[in-house]
Amino acid sequence: MGMKDVMKPSCTKAALLFAAMILSDASHAGNEASVAEGPYFGQQPPGLTPEVFAPGIISKGHRELSGFFSPDMTEYYYTLKKTNSEDWWLVSLKQADGRWTVSGMTERVGRPIVSPDGKTMHLGKHYRERAGDDWGEMKSLGPDFEDIRIMRLSATLDGTYVFDEAGVPNGDGIIRYSHLVDGVRQAPEAFGTEINTGLWNAHPFVAPDGSYIIWDGERESGQGDGDLYISFQLPDGTWTDAQNMGAEINTAASEAGAYVSPDGKYLFFNRVVSPPGNYDNIDIFWVDAKVIENLRPQD
């Protein structure tokens, strides 16, 4: 899936009209309030079996990807590509008095995700800083990152970056990290074979405390198409060998784009739900984050 290299500074009139339609399915039968209120859009929390997140509200039969919350859980963002359209959008929703409303749309850049301190929205090799109730102008991460085709960059609370490189055309992209040491950004380095094994390693999510990384890729030991894998950081700073997150999470379809909610309660990810070979319908799924703890190495 390609990405645009520019972001429109504000929503166009057409985009706002499109945004007004995002929650329209929830308004039938006078039932909008019952499905568009509450911390998770009024959804019943899942157990250890993944479920579609907010069907008919967020997941609506198009390509809905890469959903994430602001740290205070009052904003939600996801990327959208409607069937038969070539345009990718970043849709933003805000919660006020418990009720969610669409607040705007911008052209998607990279696979957006917000930093755990809520001050930065990362957009591949670009970023925007929080400016009041909105986000400031787009900036570059700098020359050390300029030549890397970054799709998704995730950050820890201490400023470490974990990011991918689009493995096009051979699926040989790698996942890298960059530490922040005494306020100085360090040059990117590649993780070892614990993480960089197989093909199409991409879209990493690093825990705010840096204790684990979840990403998607293809390996001979996988469940089918792209699967989610996890690696935990050990006390000596090394990383465990990647673990496939299991048959409850991974299927013969493609799973990708993992993300854990700021409260640490739920793991979100994308799953292709259209027929094999067709990527027109990709939904956001969620599952209890206990699935992560169940994979964590025991002392």
pLDDT digits (tens, 9 = 90+) for 239-296: 999 999 999 999 999 999 999 999 999 999 999 998 877 888 999 999 999 999 999 9
Residue 4 has what pLDDT?
Answer: 30
Which pLDDT tens digit goes with each residue over 169-218? 999 999 999 999 999 999 999 999 999 999 999 999 999 999 999 999 99
Q: How far apart are CA 267 and CA 298, in angstroms?
A: 21
Q: Which fold has domain 13-293?
A: Neuraminidase (2.120.10)
Residue from 106, 144, 99, 143 nearest 123 by CA: 106
pLDDT at 14 over 80: no
Structure tokens at 28: 């039938």
Q: Where are the beta strands (DSSP E) in 108-233?
A: 113-114, 120-123, 126-131, 134-135, 139-140, 153-155, 161-163, 176-178, 180-181, 184-185, 189-190, 199-206, 212-218, 227-232
Q: Where exactly are the structural domains of the chain?
A: 13-293
Residue 21 has what pLDDT?
Answer: 53
Q: Which of 32-46, 89-103, 112-126 has the lowest mean pLDDT?
A: 32-46
Residue 34 has what pLDDT?
Answer: 35
pLDDT at 5 over 50: no
Q: State the amino acid at position 17 in one-letter form.
A: L
Task: Return mean pLDDT, the chain.
Answer: 88
Q: How far apart are CA 191 and CA 147, in angstroms?
A: 18
